[in-house]
Amino acid sequence: PNPVNDRLYIETEAEINEVVVYDIFGRRQVTETPSHQGNVAIDVSSLKSGIYFVKINTEKGNIVKRIIKD
């Protein structure tokens, strides 16, 4: 996993419907609905340092990735 500071950058060729960031307890911390296709930047500056999971809902299905917030 790549460390993240204030912005989480997501690059995909699929259309992103929604991005949700969860803490390690499964609590929803950030929800973003991008208004465009392609690269997306999510503001995570309000999150405390730690491990989080990012669920990316695309036209092709869901992807879950782990990130570390510095």
Report pLDDT for 67. 96
CA nearest to 30, candidates 12, 4, 1, 11: 4
pLDDT digits (tens, 9 = 90+) for 24-54: 999 999 999 987 777 899 999 999 999 999 9
pLDDT digits (tens, 9 = 90+) for 2-13: 689 999 999 888
Report pLDDT for 23. 97
CA nearest to 41, candidates 61, 21, 70, 66: 21
Report pLDDT for 34. 87
